[in-house]
Structure 1
Amino acid sequence: MGRGRPPRRAAGGLSGMAQHYLSVREDWLAQTREEPLDPAQPIIDAHHHLWDRPGWRYLADDFARDIAQGGHNILASVYVQARAMLRARGAEELRPVGETEFAAGMAAMSESGGYGPTHICAGIVGFADLRLGAAVRPVLEAHIRAGGGRFRGIRHIAAWDPDPTMLNPAYQPGQHMLLDPVFRAGFAELAPLGLSFDAWLLHPQLDDLVDLARAFPGTAIVLNHIGGPLAIGRYAGRREEARLEWAGAMQRLATCPNVHVKIGGLSMRMLGFGFEAQERPASSAERAQIWRPYVQTCIELFGAQRCLFESNFPVDKGAVGYGVLWNAFKRLAAGASAQEKDDLFWRTAARVYRLDGIPSLREGMVQ
């Protein structure tokens, strides 16, 4: 704990939005520690968050500590929108620019070298309300300025379900936001500015993303958390049925060459694996065995050049330690070639998020 800082508490004690997340229990996670597999394998963590909320602080030093304890070769990371440090004043549509300013500040702290060798927040994905239509462009330009050369795209969460217990109450997108003409007018502003779109939605909504991707073939889209295959609520006890629905939609999505898939988020509660309820955390081998049907489907459909691994920390930390998580991914990629492993672990992320400014990556970048 840093000097003069309030104690960190688990997320489970919070109300409102944080109840959507699993509690982080450091003592429980400590029961399962593993030596890193293939520790020299370069990795870009393609999706994580940082925040300082009442009862839950997770900043650059916390993330750096998890990286160091895990022992994996994390070269860089991509910060993704999480409603952290929004501006308290000013025009409503510009308040999310505060999050980009925050992430850029975390990146600058990382570049001091005081938080280990990882380039934390080397890429930044923020939020702008694309339902502003074409009027969103000044907001996007403000993000680009605030990012200090690191801003790469927008995530506007589309996750919706008729069962409100499935959802984070902080987001109210509506059932078919991705099909809305005004949203699409805002979406059309991304590609001219060189920005990508991170998509977070649930598997019954994947066909809306197919429609969006086909309508905007020149905009890079990155699907988060393998497309949210549900296994709780009305899908409880129907995992295989839901998995087949998800796989069919993913097959249609794979026909869109502008779509990439983040492999991760597999420990979130909505996927229903229940690791957090076990007496001790599952090992990487146990997790890889359970996750394999999902991960294998993604890689077979999209290919390693369109897949990228993500930690989704600290959200997934409620069910898995950082080192164990990356060991599970390495077990899942064990049969891949060296080229495919590099694609999965760093090269796809470097290409999609344009992280060629990192000296250690320049030589191996795929153009």
Structure 2
Amino acid sequence: MSSPNSHYAAVREEWLARHREAPVDPDLPIIDPHHHLWDRPGWRYLLPELLADTGQGHTIIATVFVQCRAMHRADGPEAMQPIGETEFANGVAAMSASGLYGPIRACAGIVSHANLTLGAAVRPVLEAHIAAGNGRFRGIRHITSWDEDESLITPGYATPRDILYREEFRAGFAQLAPLGLSFDAWLYHPQIPDLTALARAFPETPIVLDHVGGPLGIKAYAGKRDAVFAEWRAAMAELATCPNVSVKLGGLGMRINGFGFEERVEPPDSDTLAAAWKPYINSTIELFGAARCMFESNFPVDKGSYSYGVFWNACKKLAAGASAEERHALFSGTASRFYRLGLA
């Protein structure tokens, strides 16, 4: 289906179908706080595809749509074009809220893009998102992933190394908290100290770090997993001292992480995923606490490496030793509180 690049592995439905698992603890309520929807050449992932994945036996009660440049407006001022994404996601949310597609509330929360380098001039953009979201708009994601190797930079999101320190970016960031909005941070593990500095400068702004902080495992980082882990964990420990920061546990199915699940003859089972991810997931929960952690699917991006049902089984196995209160937080409570969904 999709063409692979340095980040995304091609989705092969026939390959994924070669391994299915019965859901572990199928009645556990889950809010998936990070998925995308789009209609790209050779890769359509809209409500029907999402429902096919969320219908694999786990109790997915709601989801949060996260920025992916879907359905930007073709016309009008460039700064306002991302409003189309919120309009689109809100339309999907309205469809889901009708109940015609089952009890799930897809896109119950919406995270879109606004160019924070506009400084204070970004405020009308944020206000337009709020209006378009019909009560569902929760915050923005301004991708800031950077590496000296340009092939590792998120395609289409060229960004300067020091963007989180720049005056114009911070002037835009300062507009979030007064409007009750949060910030989704997507960057790589060497940049985590930059996020720590930002979080300390804006302690009133809720921040969630996507994809466990983006530990890299390919190109210059290949074969250096122990060193990368040590650097990543030290940076995460410092970030954890910022009470306004939460973390999403997932997003480790991309090529950049270097696990190579997509290269296997057979798709990985949940035990394989849990074993590979255990150091990162356990460390993050230990550092931040379950009340600031939430499991996330990052679908359909991670779908090139494993199926939706297998992913959630892996998460449940990773959380097997957690208390009932901690499991509630990890699978629904933290997401509901952070994104103000009122569902768990």
Same fold flag (TM > 0.5): yes
Shift of 1:134: 0.4
In structure 1, the residue matched to 2:39 is 52
> 1:247 & 1:116 partners in 2: Cα distance?
40
After superposition, where does 1:35-114 map in structure 2 within 5 Å?
35-68=22-55, 70-114=56-100
Deviation string for 1:49-104 (max 9, x for gaps)? Answer: 00011111100111001111x21000100000000000000011000000000000
For the pair 1:22 / 2:9, whether they are aligned, the reply is yes
Q: Tell me if structure 2 keeps the 8 A contact 1:11–1:19.
A: no
Aligned twin of 1:317: 303
User: Hey, what's the Cα distance between the residues in 2 that align with 1:325 and 1:123?
Assistant: 21
> Residue type of the partner of 1:189?
Q
Query: Given the two structures, how large is their TM-score scaled by the length of structure 2?
Result: 0.99
Q: Which residue is equivalent to 2:21?
A: 34
Counterpart residue identity of residue 10, structure 2: S
CA contact under 8 A between 2:108 and 2:136: conserved in structure 1?
yes
Q: 1:238 aligns with which of 219, 224, 235?
A: 224
Secondary structure at 1:12 match in 2? coil
Letter matched to residue 144 of structure 1:
I
Q: Secondary structure at the match of 1:257?
A: coil
* 3-state SS of paired residue (1:11): coil
Distance 1:21 1:115 in 2: 29
Q: What is the rounded CA distance, in whole Å, between the counterparts of 1:229 and 1:164 in structure 2?
A: 16
RMSD of aligned alpha carbons: 0.9
CA distance in 1, matches of 2:341, 2:219: 39
Determine the structure 2 residue equivalent to 1:269: 255
Tell me which residue corresponds to 1:12.
3
Corresponding letter in the other structure for 2:314? A
The one of 332, 338, 341 equivalent to 1:352 is: 338
Query: Residue deviations 1:272-305, cap 9 Å, x none?
Result: 0000000001110111011100100000000000
What displacement does 1:12 show?
Answer: 1.8
State the alpha-carbon separation in 1 of the partners of residues 276 and 73 from structure 2.
41
For the 8 Å contact 2:7–2:254, the answer to whether it is kept is: no
Give the aligned residue type for 2:263: A
CA contact (8 A) 1:64 1:116 kept: no
1:149 and 1:226 mapped to 2: Cα distance?
28
Once the two structures are superposed, the pairs formed by residues 1-367 of structure 1 within 5 Å of their partners are: 10-12=1-3, 20-68=7-55, 70-356=56-342, 358=343, 361=344
Distance in 1 (alpha carbons) for counterparts of 2:149 and 2:94: 41
1:19 to partner: Cα distance: 6.4
Q: Structure 1 CA distance, aligned partners of 2:73 and 2:23? A: 39
Q: What residue identity is the alignment partner of 1:334?
A: A
Percent identical pairs in the alignment equals 62
Query: Residues of 2 paired with 1:245 and 1:270: CA distance?
Result: 17
Q: CA separation in 2, counterparts of 1:19 and 1:302?
A: 30
Counterparts of 1:67 and 1:77, CA distance in 2? 10
Where 1:78 maps in the other structure, the secondary structure is: strand
How far is 1:21 from its partner?
A: 1.6
- Contact kept in structure 2, 1:12 and 1:19, CA below 8 Å: no
Amino acid at match of 2:17: A
The whole-number CA distance in structure 2 between the counterparts of 1:150 and 1:189 is 18
1:208-260 Cα offsets, whole Å, 9 max, x none, are: 00000000000000000000001111110101100100000000000000000
Given residue 311 of structure 2, which amino acid in structure 1 is its aligned partner? L
For 1:12, the aligned partner's letter is: S
Amino acid aligned to 2:13: E
Q: CA deviation at 1:114?
A: 2.5
1:4 counterpart residue number: none
Superposition TM-score, scaled by structure 1 size: 0.92
Contact kept, 8 Å, 1:281 with 1:319, in 2: the verdict is yes
Q: What amino acid maps onto 2:2 in structure 1?
A: A
- CA distance in structure 1 between the aligned counterparts of 2:48 and 2:233, rounded to whole angstroms: 38
SS for the counterpart of 1:99 is helix
| Preserved CA contact (<8 Å) 1:103 1:121 | yes
